[in-house]
């Protein structure tokens, strides 16, 4: 599929075929999509819990109990579920870790450029931490950048996906001990292959978007 075909093909899957599984080779590509996502100043303020086993998906489904019960089949019938987690806080030690990792990967021709990068990270993070006082929210925005990239990326592999904010993040934080590790659950994305009976499939239901005349101002 070309880009336009992929955009028209993907949709939020409402019903997965539990008999169809993502191959090991494609799961490697899925994980690479997560790892290679862009983020502001390359902060990468995320962690991913990937559930492929029945036991793993059962643990993930603990976030779909009670009010969120309608999302449980989308977890248990999917081939895999990715829980996107965001850092709760970031400090100089983490910024230094990012800089050292970039240095090991050959990103800096010299020490001055490395120090300039580190200074930029601290500056922008400092603005959000001290001036705007929205550091955690800013880091969550970076995770959403990853989610957007992820949804298009898996579609390019012919894999269906369902992003879910309708989850009990507190239950998942407790299940995986996330807060103790400095993270909190944000969004779960189930991936797999659509069931033939899925009413929301683009094979059955046309996509609907606002017209270009409402969305674009060309200058």
Residue linked to tokens 């100043």:
41
Where residue 1 falls among pLDDT bands split at 50, 70, 90?
Answer: very high
Q: Give the CA radius of gyration of the chain.
A: 19
As a whole-number percent, the residues of the chain with pLDDT over 70 amount to 100
pLDDT at 201: 96
Identified catalytic residue from 57, 74, 87, 122: 74
Can you name the residues that pair with 81 across neighbouring β-strands? 51, 190
- The C-alpha atoms of residue 96 and residue 18 are separated, in whole angstroms, by 44
Please tell me which residue in 14, 62, 129, 141 is annotated as part of the active site.
Answer: 14
β-bridge partners, 162: 190
Answer yes or no: 74 catalytic. Answer: yes
* Rounded distance between C-alpha atoms, residue 160 and residue 151, angstroms: 8
Instruction: Write down the pLDDT at residue 106.
Output: 97
The yes-or-no answer on residue 87 being catalytic is no
pLDDT in tens, 183-205: 999 999 999 999 999 999 998 99
* CATH class belonging to 3-40+47-89+145-204: alpha beta
83-124 pLDDT tens trace = 999 999 999 999 999 999 999 999 999 999 999 999 999 999
Catalytic residue from among 31, 100, 133, 165: 165
The closest of 203, 163, 198, 164 to 18, measured between CA atoms, is: 198
Based on the residue annotation, tell me whether 218 is a catalytic residue of this protein. Answer: no
Digit-coded pLDDT (tens) for 5-54:
999 999 999 999 999 999 999 999 999 999 999 999 999 999 999 999 99
């Amino acid at each position: 599929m070309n880009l336009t075909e992929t955009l028209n093909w993907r949709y939020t899957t409402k019903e997965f075929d539990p008999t169809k599984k993502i191959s090991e080779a494609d799961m490697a590509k899925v994980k690479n999509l997560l790892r290679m996502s862009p983020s502001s100043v390359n902060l990468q303020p995320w962690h991913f819990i990937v559930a492929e086993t029945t036991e793993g998906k059962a643990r993930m489904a603990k976030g779909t109990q009670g009010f969120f019960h309608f999302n449980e089949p989308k977890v248990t019938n999917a081939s895999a579920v990715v829980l996107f987690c965001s850092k709760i806080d970031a400090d100089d030690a983490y910024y230094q870790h990012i800089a050292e990792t970039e240095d090991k990967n050959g990103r800096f021709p010299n020490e001055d450029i490395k120090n300039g990068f580190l200074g930029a990270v601290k500056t922008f993070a400092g603005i959000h931490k001290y001036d705007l006082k929205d550091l955690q929210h800013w880091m969550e925005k970076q995770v959403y950048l990853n989610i957007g990239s992820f949804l298009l990326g898996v579609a390019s592999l012919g894999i269906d996906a369902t992003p879910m904010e309708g989850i009990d993040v507190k239950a998942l934080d407790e299940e995986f001990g996330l807060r103790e590790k400095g993270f909190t659950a944000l969004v779960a994305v189930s991936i797999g292959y659509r069931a033939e009976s899925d009413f929301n499939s683009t094979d059955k239901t046309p996509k609907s978007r606002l017209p270009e005349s409402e969305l674009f101002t060309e200058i």
